[in-house]
Structure 1
């Protein structure tokens, strides 16, 4: 059989390759799946395509958000059969042997197939809520309203917070409004701090979710946080930023509003599978997110900017890098392969 894959061949070179594969010899717990749609994760995948992610070797096949049809199951697979449609952490390829003991969840029939891969972005965002102290009625700001930041803002609102979304892209602000975010602020305006103060009665936000991954953005946002508030680091820091860390720590400790807590919110802090001794897991988060999407409480459609063929991958990644206002939620349609 012929399997088609998107390959990062070298820095900033994405191409489609075909490889001949034998019929799958599935290991225990594996399922052979045919991709229907995969979703680009812009932050992670552009970092990989740049060649600057040490864990991702070039050439390599990127991607980790898929909805697929199960074609065959291996020994020991329980609860899944040929014909099931599932969400899983699959790469950008037409076919794949997937581990059903990882995140592997049946997709509800009521959820449109194109929406299902966005569960991965919501899973990434969910950690910011899981580690936070956000409660009903709290004021929460989210800096960076890409796919993950938008999901974090939506989930914070579902948790009962009054949410302020902040971004440099007016298009992303429009998307956030379409997803029901209470207040959106253009980060390029000089009065963001005053606007946040007005919206919070002068107190500042009790939690700020930093989703850009830009270190300076986190430092610059500190004055928006209320006394005893928390800064939640959701976006993975990647760019270099030089500053006097003593000034930052003094602000957090005593010069600012006082006693600000930093919290890391990386997705993998939770176990993959459900565990009777741990409340949260990636599998449980996936099921919760699919339920929220199915009931219309988590909005996906406003985030979809493009549905492309795999052969259009090179243009998709360039668009995500150079034209962020037009490219946001980019899906690859594998259903014809």
Structure 2
């Protein structure tokens, strides 16, 4: 019998049984090694604030509508940061072998069955730390922000929020040739951003972030601001911090109404462009060359090559049996954790 994490009610995560099934000839069975928890999107489902739990998403019109919901509790197998090892191959499978490691998205469950064609496109090199595999989707999300930002060499980029996606965005902005100003209210996250290459860090809790960024840039402001907090007040400060007629890329998953956002102030008077940087699409000018799979494979390749440090973001590794505790920690004490990983062999650290 397999296992998976189920949100059985708001703020309740339980490990429940999941029945396995037999393989088809063209499929492989993958035993999960590690699964990472997203402290953004996943927590919205855990808490019950995700709009899919309160409204119905009309895919054809791309609108949220009242009167129904897209999901309801229990929400089973949520999660998009997984890596596993092939333990069984179907009779017709030719390109994959038992023991190979596969990265991808299949939720917090002990195993997944995938078609050979899908799995063969997601092989993790044997010499790589297997934990790199859990960063394929969050790495793609971060890289998509960079593509939306259209950063030029020599520009100053301010990154608001130094959780996992923010740390990745800051590293990628530096790789793209930017001088990076990293902003967060948690000292440990600022320290880590510095170790990972951010040129400057600012303590958001001290206030006057926009004033300090303008002072650091000769009064101009940042060439582009990247908002990765999901906090409306941080978004407002990012708008205040960007140069005249420049852009703010908004990647944070905002919840509820926009308290703390004053669009009649700097947004209106400085002609600021807000760009929704969301993984469902790529910047239109790049869609003929980039898609989600290329974003994912690029993030994995950069991590394997050591150009993107992902394993330093792991703060806790807990066995699957402690999934409930892991989600409570991220919900109630976010300052104590960064990337929390579930281990499926029972180990923790």
When normalised by structure 2's length, the TM-score is 0.85
1:314 shift after superposition: 1.0
Mean CA deviation greater in 90-99 or 59-68: 90-99
The alpha-carbon distance between structure 1 residues 226 and 75, as it changes in their structure 2 partners (threshold 3 A), is: farther
Q: Distance in 2 between matches of 1:310 and 1:209?
A: 33
Secondary structure of the corresponding residue to residue 149 of structure 2:
coil
Matched, 1:252 2:267: yes
Matched, 1:305 2:302: no
1:113-128 alignment runs, 5 A limit: 113-128=130-145
Q: Note if contact 2:135-2:300 (Cα within 8 Å) is conserved in structure 1.
A: no
Q: Note if contact 1:142-1:165 (Cα within 8 Å) is conserved in structure 2.
A: yes
Q: Note if contact 1:206-1:228 (Cα within 8 Å) is conserved in structure 2.
A: no
Match of 1:192 in 2: 209
Mean CA deviation greater in 239-248 or 107-116: 239-248
Match of 1:241 in 2: 258
1:179 to 196, 201, 222: 196
What CA RMSD, in Å, does the superposition of the two structures yield over aligned residues?
2.5
Matched, 1:57 2:54: no
- For residues 132-177 of structure 1, give each alpha carbon's deviation from its aligned partner in whole angstroms, at most 9, with x where no partner exists: 2211111001111111111111111100000111112112112212
Q: Distance in 2 between matches of 1:185 and 1:135?
A: 22
1:73 shift after superposition: 4.3
- For residues 248-302 of structure 1, give each alpha carbon's deviation from its aligned partner in whole angstroms, at most 9, with x where no partner exists: 5xx334x23xx3221111011049xxxx972112221222112211222111232
- Number of matched pairs: 325
Q: Note if contact 1:26-1:97 (Cα within 8 Å) is conserved in structure 2.
A: no
Secondary structure of the corresponding residue to residue 308 of structure 2:
coil
Q: Note if contact 1:105-1:283 (Cα within 8 Å) is conserved in structure 2.
A: no
Match of 1:6 in 2: 5
Q: Note if contact 2:139-2:300 (Cα within 8 Å) is conserved in structure 1.
A: no
Q: Note if contact 2:233-2:261 (Cα within 8 Å) is conserved in structure 1.
A: no
1:77 shift after superposition: 6.3
1:260-271 alignment runs, 5 A limit: 260-270=272-282
Q: Note if contact 2:25-2:93 (Cα within 8 Å) is conserved in structure 1.
A: no
Match of 1:26 in 2: 24
Give structure 1 stretches of 5+ with no counterpart: none
1:244 shift after superposition: 8.0
- For residues 73-103 of structure 1, give each alpha carbon's deviation from its aligned partner in whole angstroms, at most 9, with x where no partner exists: 4588674343321111121111112356668
Match of 2:169 in 1: 152
1:208 to 225, 248, 251: 225
1:321 shift after superposition: 1.2
Give structure 2 stretches of 5+ with no counterpart: 53-69
1:51 shift after superposition: 2.0
Match of 1:86 in 2: 102
1:97 to 100, 113, 124: 113
Q: Note if contact 1:90-1:98 (Cα within 8 Å) is conserved in structure 2.
A: no
The alpha-carbon distance between structure 1 residues 204 and 277, as it changes in their structure 2 partners (threshold 3 A), is: closer
